[in-house]
Structure formats: structure tokens, C-alpha cells
Amino acid sequence: MVSGLAPEQRRAAIARGDFSHLADSEVMLELKAGNMDAFDVLLAKYRKPMVHFMFRMVHNQAVAEELAQEVFLRVYRSRETYRAEARFSTWLYRIATNLGVNYARDTRYERTAATVYLDEVDAETGMTPDVADTTPSAEVGLLREERMEAIRRHVMALPERQRNAVLMHKYQGMDYQQIGEVLKLSESATKSLLFRAYQTLREKLKEFV
């Protein structure tokens, strides 16, 4: 969690703008001290994981990016109160999870499945939707889309904690301990939560296996 650099070496590295030897929590402490380069370092490291995490939570790239930006803004706003007691990523994912869950709750009634009528003209484009052709590649593409949609639907249908645990474990590569810290659960409870989620998904996704 903490870099093994001597204080002088650490200071010299920071002065050069080299944060590569620093742990994330140390980079965050630099941001707390007012070094804005530290913010860019954290942004570069966590930009993609945050957008992916948020995309899987909200299934809309524009919203996902806006929420991911909000996560980073909250990191900046909370820099004064940051304590390097836990891993930085745990803190980051706790912010992200709260934001994602709140967004999902706030828009629960707005998010309805869009129905596409193949024989109706689209109001915006004035065209009818593209109908899949019969070439094998298109079929494969459609199947892939269908499979992805089924996975998304069933993962999102999981209870809130199971869903967040799966997103962090399967797609963010986090271990039980870290997921447990984010969700405030013990390691064994996290393991059990995850297994129940995967069992549910096995039942629901049987036809695609």
C-alpha cells in the first residue's frame, strides 16, 4: 500500500512529476497537499475502469461517463478529508457504487425497455430500422448482441449487493477482501454473496451456455 522509497527519493520523484513508485494512497495524499498532477495520475489509472464499471451499472455510455466524471470530482472535493487508512481503490469504488446505486434508484421509473417496431418509421431519422440480413456474420453478430443483452438483463436483475459484487469481482478483477471493504461485508460473506449470484446466473443463462 505504501511505496518503499526513502522520503528524499520520494520527494525528488514527485518533484520530477514521477508518481510511478507511489502507491495510489500516496498519490491521493499528494492531491490533498494541493498537487494537481496527482489528480491526473489517478485519472489516467482509473478512467477506463470507472467508465466500464459505470457503463455496466447504467448501460448508457453518456450517463456512464458523466457518472465516472462525478466520481473523480468527488475525489477532488473530498481530498481534504481523505485518510490513507484503506486502499485508495476501495474508497474510489465505494464512491462509484453509491453514485451508481443512487442513479439507478432515481431513474427506476424512467428506465423502460425500448420497443422497436420494425414496420414503423423512426420519428427522428425518417427511416425504418435495419432488419438483420441472413449472412452468417450478421447472425453471429445478432446472437452475440442477444447474449450480451441477456447477461446484462440478468446481472442487473440480481439483488443490489449481489449485482455490485459481481460487477466488481468479474469485471473489475477485485478480490473478496476488497469487495468486502467496499460493501462493508466480511470476506466469507462476500464469497457467499458472490456464489449465490453466480448460481442465479447459471439458472437464468442456461440457454446460452
Partner 1 sequence: MTKEGMSEGENMKELTRTINCKTCGKHFADLLLDESFAAQVREAGRQQTGPDAEAGAAAEPIHGAAAMQVAAHLAGCATCREELEQLQATYALLDSWTAPEPSAFFDSRLHVRLREVRAEEPERLWSRVRSFFLYSTRQRLRPVLAGALAVAVIAGGGGTFAGLYGHQDAMAIKTSPTVNDLKILDNNAQALQQMDELLDSGNDNSAPPVS
- Which positions touch partner 1 (CB under 8 A)? 39, 43, 47-48, 51-52, 55-56, 61, 64-65, 68-69, 72-73, 76-77, 144, 147-148, 151-152, 155, 166, 169-171, 176, 191-192, 194-195, 198-199, 201-202, 205-206, 208-209
Give the three-state DSSP class for 83: coil
Burial profile 82-102: b = 16 or more Cβ within 10 angstroms, e = fewer: eebeebbbbbbbebbbebbee
d(CA 119, CA 96): 41
Helix axes 88-106, 61-77, angle to 10 degrees: 130
CB of 96 to partner 1, least distance (A): 14
Identify the helix (H) or strand (E) that includes residue 158.
none
Q: What is the DSSP string of 178-194?
A: HHHHHHT--HHHHHHHH
Q: Which is nearer to partner 1, 13 or 66 (CB)?
A: 66
CB of 141 to partner 1, least distance (A): 12
CB of 65 to partner 1, least distance (A): 6
Q: Which is nearer to partner 1, 183 or 201 (CB)?
A: 201
Identify the helix (H) or strand (E) that includes residue 120.
none
CB of 44 to partner 1, least distance (A): 9
Say which residues have a Cβ less than 8 Å from residue 23's Cβ, sequence separation at least 6: 1, 2, 3, 88
Q: Which is nearer to partner 1, 87 or 169 (CB)?
A: 169
Q: Which is nearer to partner 1, 76 or 102 (CB)?
A: 76
Q: Which is nearer to partner 1, 65 or 82 (CB)?
A: 65
CB of 2 to partner 1, least distance (A): 27
